[in-house]
Chains A and B, each alone.
Chain A
Amino acid sequence: MANKIFDRDTLLDLTVNVVPLFIIAFFVVAFAVLSPFGIDPLASSIQFGLLAVPFVLLAILTYFAGRAVAGSEQSGEVYLPGQAGVRGAKPLEEDHGPAAIDPESTDDAPEVEGDGEDDADGDAEDDADGDAEDDADGDAEDDADTKDA
C-alpha cells in the first residue's frame, strides 16, 4: 500500500522536507560525536530531545501529508490548484500540458481590464504558444511538477 502511494514522483516531492530533516540529523550526529560542552544527563537529554522531537514530528507530518495528497491524486481527478471549482474546468491529464479551462469559456472574456492592458492585446494571441513552451520546459526539468501543478 505504502509503496503504491509513494511512487517516485511523490518521493521526489517529499525531498523538500528531507533536507531540513537531514540538517537536524546532521546536528544530532555532530553534537553526539563532538559534544563541545560535555555531556550532562539533564541538559544533554533536553538538547537531543529538542532535535529529536521536531525531527519525528516533521517526518510524521510529511508522511501523512504526502499520503493524503498522493492518495487523492490516485483516487480522484486532479485539477490545477484552485481550479477544481471552476465551471467547465477539465482535470489535468498525466504528462500533458495545461489548457485546464474549457476553451469555450474563454470566448466570453474578450475585454481586457485592469492593470495588464499594456501588453495584453499583443500577448493574447501568443498565449497558447507561450504556455506550451513553458510547460514543455517544466516537464523536461521536473517530472514532479507536471502532475501536481
Chain B
Amino acid sequence: MDAEPGLSEQYRMASPWPLFIALGIPIAELGILFSLFPIAVGGLLLFGGSVAGMATESGYAKTPWRGLIGVAAPLAVLGLAFMFTRIGLPNRGLAIVAAAVILVAAGVAGMLFSPDREPTY
C-alpha cells in the first residue's frame, strides 16, 4: 500500500470516454443486427470516436485523428466483406463502410484543419 506514492498523483480519476465506448457497442450491434442504417452508423461513429478520444487522453496518441483512421480500417474491411463476399449482407455492410468513411473523413479533416496546438495535459 505505501509503496510508490508518486505514481498515483499523476493519475486521472475520471474519463468521459468509457461510457460512450460502452454505449457505442450496443447501439452499433442493434443497428447492424436489425439493419437500421442510421443506428448502425451512429453507433459505430460513437464507438470509433470514443476509442480515438480515449487513446489520445491516455497518452497512446498525440491527437485523435490518426486513431479515427485506425478504427476505420478494420471497419472498412468488415463492411466490404459483408457487401462483397458470400456473407451477402449488403445493406449492413454499407452501413459499416459508411461509418468507416465518415471516420476517415473526420480524421483527415482533423489532421488538415485542426489548429496545431500542444496537448494541454
Interface residues of chain A, those whose CB is within 8 Å of chain B, are 85-87
Interface residues of chain B, those whose CB is within 8 Å of chain A, are 1-2
Tell me the nearest residue of chain B to A85, going by C-beta. Answer: B1
Per the bound structure, the CA–CA distance linking A86 and B1 in Å amounts to 7
CB neighbours (8 Å) of B2 from chain A are 85, 87
- Total A-B Cβ pairs within 8 A: 5
CB neighbours (8 Å) of A87 from chain B are 1-2
Per the bound structure, the CA–CA distance linking A87 and B1 in Å amounts to 8
Per the bound structure, the CA–CA distance linking A87 and B2 in Å amounts to 8
CB distance from B96 to the nearest CB of A (A): 39
CB distance from A54 to the nearest CB of B (A): 35
Q: List 5 A-B contacts (CB under 8 A).
A: A85-B1, A85-B2, A86-B1, A87-B1, A87-B2
CB neighbours (8 Å) of A86 from chain B are 1
CB distance from A87 to the nearest CB of B (A): 6
Per the bound structure, the CA–CA distance linking A82 and B27 in Å amounts to 42
Per the bound structure, the CA–CA distance linking A11 and B1 in Å amounts to 32
Per the bound structure, the CA–CA distance linking A85 and B2 in Å amounts to 7
Closest 5 CB pairs of A and B: A85-B1, A87-B2, A87-B1, A86-B1, A85-B2
CB neighbours (8 Å) of B1 from chain A are 85-87
CB distance from A9 to the nearest CB of B (A): 29
Tell me the nearest residue of chain A to B3, going by C-beta. Answer: A85
Tell me the nearest residue of chain A to B2, going by C-beta. Answer: A87
